[in-house]
A and B are shown apart, each in its own frame.
Chain A
Amino acid sequence: MGKPTDLVQGTLDVLILKTVALQPMHGWGIAQRIRQLSNEVLQVGQGALYPALHRLEQQGWIQAKWGESENNRRAKYYSLTRDGAKYLRQQQAQWSRLSGAIDLVLEAT
């Protein structure tokens, strides 16, 4: 429960951005989607999720809009902004480079 301590600090941002890049999504949906996509490995608790969403919104990488949820309730939907998309691309590239490098080190030993 709580923060995904397994995650490298800062990766939560990328995960959220990646998730909302596909389609606008509310906080609950984002948490569910990250869990599903990672085969239940990554559990994002609301204690980390919502502050992160508000921070990303303040930074202008995602924007929020109120909409109807699947079961007809008002929900806050987040979607990626253009700046956010750019930031995501940068972060993704950096991540692949980093994980590639780590793989290399691990294989070598």
Chain B
Amino acid sequence: MRWYYKLPLRLRSLFRREQAERELNEEIQFHLQSLIEQYLAQGMKPEAARYTALRELGHLDPVKEECREMRNVNFVENVLQDLHFGLRMLRRNPGFSTLAILCLVLGIGSNAAVFSWIEGILLHPYPAVTHQDRLLMLAATRRGDAGYNGLSWPDFQDLQRSCTLCDAVIAEKIVGVTLSIGDRAESGTGSVVSSNYFDALGVRPILGRGFQPDEDFGRNAHPVTVISYQLWQNRFHGDPLIVGKTQVLNGRPHTIVGVAPKGFYGTFIGYSWKLWVPISMQERFEPGGYKMENRGERWIEGFLRMKPGVTAEQVQAEVSTLAERLENSYPETNRGQGIKVLPLWKAPFNGASFMLPTLGIALGIGVLVLLIVCANVSNLLLVRFFARRHEITARIALGAGRGRVLQQLLTEGLILSLIGAAGGVVLAYWCRNLLSVLIPPRSAPVFLPGQMDWRVLVLSAGVCLISTVLFGLVPVLENSKVDLASALKTESGSVIGARGRARVRGGLVVVQVSLSFVLLVGAGLVVLSLEKIRTASPGFSIDGVLNTAVNLMATGYDTQRAKNFHDAFMERVQAVPGIESAAYGRVIPLGYRSYSEASIAVEGYEPARNEQPILEYNEVGPSYFATMGIPLISGREFTRADSETSPPVAIVNEVMVAQYWHGEDPVGKRFQVNGRWMQVVGVAKVSKYRSILETPKAFFYVALRQNFAPTVGLNLRTNQPADTIARALAREMHALDPDLAPYDVSTMRERVERSTSAQHAAVMLLGIFGSLAVVLATIGLYGVLSYAVSQSTRELGLRMALGARASDLLRIVMSQGLSLTATGVVIGAAIALGGTRLLGYLLYRVSPLDPLAFGSAFAVMMFAALAACLVPSWRATRTDPVRALRQ
């Protein structure tokens, strides 16, 4: 009953078998002796007493076996025996074992890799942060708008004060930072955070401290920073006395108060941060002026940590109530504004949003690949077990139960998949950074690590077991119904393609072909849509335009100085040889920075009662449209004459004209932007603003000079390569102010490609796995056909002897292979017709039923099938009738 009493007994039975066995013998012997003594006492002769006793006891072995049975050791012993035997069989057939294990490594490994990516990127993306499952992302919503915004600092503070269900509410915003290093400057990314950031995340700085509560307040009053472990190592060479030293950030010395621990990269999925500064320093890092007291400035991307045992729904309810209260108290700024909590994997602001669909598809691909692999290994096992049918028959003839044989064959399958799983986990570990490689480079280093933890290992073990059942069951069941009588006959006389076993194998090939076909169609669709994206015009020039950014948050420039700098720098830039035109624009299209938003009122347009027209706009300089290659439909573009002293002007896009002016040319008309009247001076064609995939939307432009921002993007039209221009820009900027560094120079094409990184990753994944699947299916088909040919030599020989020509035999074998393939393709097409819709998000102007994708998948599959049929067919034609018939 009690485990501490039973356990030693069980262990003794298992590991000290010899002793247990000896004792059992001794015990039975004692019984025998006692019986003999009894007979002696009754007066028998010793010989007769012994003989009688032995006869009475009868056969002793069954008794001993029954005793062993009682000790429950047989099951474990059998498993050990099977393992031992299974390993020996694998060693004896290295070719088969290697192929099967390789397949399984691929199948289980690709699943483990996808699990580790999902774990490391979506579910538990911050390895150094404690209790990530209690973290939620905070986002603001606006009635009638599906997207998400940031929160304002006053709203955030109200939330922080009133949230009773959370342990902490954390504010964060990604910002660009310029570090002055000696006489040069270097730009990087970091974030401004609320003072509770490190404490609430459970991240303890390894040196110094995190931030203190008073560092949330006071306009630009706390020039302190916590630096990342990498920055500490790379820039400061791990200086143990770093705390207290200063580093110039954006032109102002900041005291380093702490060093974040190794393995903490910040809380923005996809990137790793260089440093953190307190949120009170917002004005010096986040563009757009001082925002800390303005409820209408929504810029904070926050987190919230739930109290233990609280659900996200409860938190949402509480947060929504607060949002309603804020809406009532501050209708000016908060009308229609809601607050939403989201699980980390749905976070709208960081890398999670563009990785989510990619990883979803990767998961689907993983399942398909696993199924294909299982079908392939299943096929291999069928052949292996079939070759061993004599051994299995002998076992059954000698009295092994069918269950016992089944157990042994399954154990062999389990050995295969265990080795496969071990290899797969290693493979997944190597591939954990693969996604960072598949995604085109960004200005900041992409950081998308997979993570191997117990959850991933448990899931992989599950996959391993499932696959054992998947690939093991068919061959094992096939073999356990061995017919004793017929099993000893040779089978080389069978007819091609006519046996039940061949049908099972054929079925497995059909599974492989159909699933590979699905993968091929998927790959074709994403390739086509990527091609469409590449050739679709975003509404501005893709080639011949470079972008960079000028960050004047840096040197604490006041507005006048910044304007002077802009002018002086523009003059120098325009003088650089090879630059045709240059223009500032606060936001560069398809970038991370968000556009300004304003509520507008158009003369002659009556909004619906519940409607509050809010549009995004960009602040751009003279000759912006010429530089970007955005055509103007009517009117003019901004010039240097549109200055602070001239009347405010705006250029609107054609969608806005259609929406608010009923399609009439609005040039010369007026509309209100945040209560300020602006005159329309031009109409621009619609272009892409945030994403290449967006639908055309209403948008307008205002003159940068009349709506000044010190930190702006710089667009250049040139025929020079990017690095030449980058060197020239750095030189010119350095000449004006040595504390300034331009951001990386990127081409417009790079930007377009970046904005389609999800498609790129999907193309790579589908491409790699699609071709793998085709190779596996080809191997499977080849295996089935060559086996069929080798098993029916007698039939083929007979046909030849009766006058069949080589071409007839070729046709027989080929038609068998091609009919299997055709069946697979038909089934695959049916699956693909229903399944490709799931690619939805990734498809751009490509129908999920695109005939070109289906057609090319068909062509590839047929080509692979022909290749697989070729060798077996050729071998069939070489059958020697005389030898075949003599067998």
List A contacts of B67 (CB < 8 A): 50-51, 54
Q: Are A27 and B2 in contact (CB under 8 A)?
A: no
- Supposing A27-B30, A28-B31 touch, asked if A47 and B2 sit within 8 A by C-beta, the answer is no
Asked if A37 lies at the interface with its beta carbon under 8 angstroms from chain B, I say no
Q: Mark A37-65, 1 if CB is under 8 A from B, else 0.
A: 00000000011001100110111110100
Asked if B70 lies at the interface with its beta carbon under 8 angstroms from chain A, I say yes
Given contacts A50-B31, A55-B70, 10 further A-B pairs with CB under 8 A are A46-B57, A51-B63, A54-B67, A54-B71, A58-B70, A60-B5, A66-B23, A73-B33, A83-B2, A83-B5
Q: Mark A69-100, 1 if CB is under 8 A from B, else 0.
A: 10101111000010100000000000000000
Q: Are A81 and B5 in contact (CB under 8 A)?
A: yes
Q: Are B30 and A76 in contact (CB under 8 A)?
A: yes
- CB nearest to B60 among chain A residues: A46
- CB nearest to A49 among chain B residues: B31
Which of A50, A57, A69 has the largest number of chain B CB atoms within 10 A?
A50
List A contacts of B71 (CB < 8 A): 54, 58
- Supposing A46-B57, A55-B70, A83-B2 touch, asked if A76 and B63 sit within 8 A by C-beta, the answer is no
List B contacts of A75 (CB < 8 A): 27, 30
Whole-angstrom distance between the alpha carbons of A27 and B26 in the complex? 12
List B contacts of A108 (CB < 8 A): none
Whole-angstrom distance between the alpha carbons of A74 and B27 in the complex? 9
- Which one of A26, A47, A76 contacts B58 once the chains associate, using CB atoms below 8 Å? A47
Whole-angstrom distance between the alpha carbons of A75 and B29 in the complex? 10
Whole-angstrom distance between the alpha carbons of A63 and B34 in the complex? 22
Asked if A1 lies at the interface with its beta carbon under 8 angstroms from chain B, I say yes
Q: Are B63 and A57 in contact (CB under 8 A)?
A: no
List B contacts of A74 (CB < 8 A): 26, 30
Q: Are B66 and A71 in contact (CB under 8 A)?
A: no
Q: Are A83 and B30 in contact (CB under 8 A)?
A: no
Q: Are A28 and B28 in contact (CB under 8 A)?
A: no
Asked if B500 lies at the interface with its beta carbon under 8 angstroms from chain A, I say no
- Supposing A51-B63, A54-B67, A54-B70 touch, asked if A46 and B1 sit within 8 A by C-beta, the answer is no
- Which one of A47, A58, A66 contacts B62 once the chains associate, using CB atoms below 8 Å? A47
Whole-angstrom distance between the alpha carbons of A58 and B33 in the complex? 26
Whole-angstrom distance between the alpha carbons of A51 and B13 in the complex? 14
Q: Are B72 and A58 in contact (CB under 8 A)?
A: yes
List B contacts of A58 (CB < 8 A): 6, 9-10, 13, 70-72
- Which one of B31, B33, B37 contacts A46 once the chains associate, using CB atoms below 8 Å? B31
List B contacts of A83 (CB < 8 A): 1-2, 5
Kindly provide the distance from the CB of A80 to the nearest chain B CB, expressed in whole angstroms. 13
Kindly provide the distance from the CB of A61 to the nearest chain B CB, expressed in whole angstroms. 8
- CB nearest to B57 among chain A residues: A46
List A contacts of B56 (CB < 8 A): 1
Q: Provide a sorted-by-A list of 16 A–B residue pairs whose CB atoms are within 8 angstroms.
A: A26-B30, A46-B31, A50-B67, A51-B63, A51-B67, A51-B69, A54-B67, A57-B9, A58-B6, A58-B10, A58-B71, A60-B1, A60-B9, A66-B23, A75-B30, A83-B5
Whole-angstrom distance between the alpha carbons of A74 and B23 in the complex? 10
Whole-angstrom distance between the alpha carbons of A14 and B10 in the complex? 23
Q: Are A73 and B70 in contact (CB under 8 A)?
A: no
- CB nearest to B4 among chain A residues: A60
Which of A26, A47, A66, A69 has the largest number of chain B CB atoms within 10 A?
A47
Which of A58, A61, A74 has the largest number of chain B CB atoms within 10 A?
A58
> Which chain B residues in 23-71 approach chain A with CB under 8 Å?
23, 26-28, 30-31, 33-35, 37, 56-58, 62-63, 66-67, 69-71
- Which one of A50, A60, A71, A76 contacts B2 once the chains associate, using CB atoms below 8 Å? A60
- CB nearest to B35 among chain A residues: A28
Kindly provide the distance from the CB of A63 to the nearest chain B CB, expressed in whole angstroms. 8
Q: Are B1 and A59 in contact (CB under 8 A)?
A: yes
A residues sitting closer than 8 Å to B (CB atoms) are: 1, 26-28, 46-47, 50-51, 54-55, 57-61, 63, 66, 69, 71, 73-76, 81, 83
List A contacts of B30 (CB < 8 A): 26-28, 69, 73-76
In the complex, the number of residue pairs spanning A and B with C-beta atoms less than 8 Å apart equals: 69
Kindly provide the distance from the CB of B24 to the nearest chain A CB, expressed in whole angstroms. 8
Whole-angstrom distance between the alpha carbons of A92 and B70 in the complex? 24
> Which chain B residues in 768-782 approach chain A with CB under 8 Å?
none
List B contacts of A76 (CB < 8 A): 23, 26-27, 30
Kindly provide the distance from the CB of B52 to the nearest chain A CB, expressed in whole angstroms. 13
By size class, the interface of chain B is 20 to 34
- CB nearest to A75 among chain B residues: B30
Kindly provide the distance from the CB of A13 to the nearest chain B CB, expressed in whole angstroms. 12
Kindly provide the distance from the CB of B864 to the nearest chain A CB, expressed in whole angstroms. 58
> Which chain B residues in 58-114 approach chain A with CB under 8 Å?
58, 62-63, 66-67, 69-72
- Supposing A46-B63, A60-B5 touch, asked if A71 and B37 sit within 8 A by C-beta, the answer is yes
Q: Are A50 and B63 in contact (CB under 8 A)?
A: yes
Whole-angstrom distance between the alpha carbons of A69 and B31 in the complex? 11
List A contacts of B1 (CB < 8 A): 59-61, 83
- Supposing A58-B71, A76-B23 touch, asked if A51 and B31 sit within 8 A by C-beta, the answer is no
A-B pairs, top 10 by smallest CB distance, nearest first, are A28-B34, A54-B70, A83-B1, A51-B66, A55-B70, A54-B67, A60-B1, A76-B27, A60-B5, A75-B30
Whole-angstrom distance between the alpha carbons of A1 and B34 in the complex? 17
Kindly provide the distance from the CB of A97 to the nearest chain B CB, expressed in whole angstroms. 23
List A contacts of B66 (CB < 8 A): 47, 50-51
Whole-angstrom distance between the alpha carbons of A73 and B56 in the complex? 22
Kindly provide the distance from the CB of B269 to the nearest chain A CB, expressed in whole angstroms. 55
List A contacts of B13 (CB < 8 A): 58
List B contacts of A26 (CB < 8 A): 27, 30
Kindly provide the distance from the CB of A86 to the nearest chain B CB, expressed in whole angstroms. 9
- CB nearest to B58 among chain A residues: A47
Whole-angstrom distance between the alpha carbons of A63 and B57 in the complex? 25
Whole-angstrom distance between the alpha carbons of A50 and B61 in the complex? 12
List A contacts of B27 (CB < 8 A): 26-27, 50, 75-76
Q: Are A60 and B28 in contact (CB under 8 A)?
A: no
Whole-angstrom distance between the alpha carbons of A63 and B2 in the complex? 12
Q: Are A60 and B63 in contact (CB under 8 A)?
A: no
Whole-angstrom distance between the alpha carbons of A54 and B31 in the complex? 15
Q: Are A27 and B31 in contact (CB under 8 A)?
A: yes
List A contacts of B69 (CB < 8 A): 51
- CB nearest to B31 among chain A residues: A28
Whole-angstrom distance between the alpha carbons of A83 and B4 in the complex? 13
Whole-angstrom distance between the alpha carbons of A57 and B28 in the complex? 16
Whole-angstrom distance between the alpha carbons of A59 and B5 in the complex? 9
Whole-angstrom distance between the alpha carbons of A81 and B34 in the complex? 26
Kindly provide the distance from the CB of B94 to the nearest chain A CB, expressed in whole angstroms. 42
Whole-angstrom distance between the alpha carbons of A74 and B70 in the complex? 23
- CB nearest to B5 among chain A residues: A60
Kindly provide the distance from the CB of A54 to the nearest chain B CB, expressed in whole angstroms. 4
List B contacts of A54 (CB < 8 A): 67, 70-71
Whole-angstrom distance between the alpha carbons of A28 and B69 in the complex? 21
List B contacts of A27 (CB < 8 A): 27, 30-31
Whole-angstrom distance between the alpha carbons of A50 and B26 in the complex? 12
List B contacts of A61 (CB < 8 A): 1
List B contacts of A59 (CB < 8 A): 1, 6
Whole-angstrom distance between the alpha carbons of A81 and B13 in the complex? 19
- CB nearest to A71 among chain B residues: B37
Q: Are A47 and B63 in contact (CB under 8 A)?
A: yes
List B contacts of A28 (CB < 8 A): 30-31, 34-35
Whole-angstrom distance between the alpha carbons of A47 and B63 in the complex? 5
List B contacts of A69 (CB < 8 A): 30, 34
List B contacts of A60 (CB < 8 A): 1-2, 5-6, 9
List A contacts of B23 (CB < 8 A): 66, 76
Which of A46, A60, A75, A81 has the largest number of chain B CB atoms within 10 A?
A46
Whole-angstrom distance between the alpha carbons of A71 and B40 in the complex? 14
List A contacts of B9 (CB < 8 A): 57-58, 60
Which of A28, A69, A83 has the largest number of chain B CB atoms within 10 A?
A28
Kindly provide the distance from the CB of B666 to the nearest chain A CB, expressed in whole angstroms. 93
Kindly provide the distance from the CB of B16 to the nearest chain A CB, expressed in whole angstroms. 14
Kindly provide the distance from the CB of B34 to the nearest chain A CB, expressed in whole angstroms. 4
Kindly provide the distance from the CB of B304 to the nearest chain A CB, expressed in whole angstroms. 53
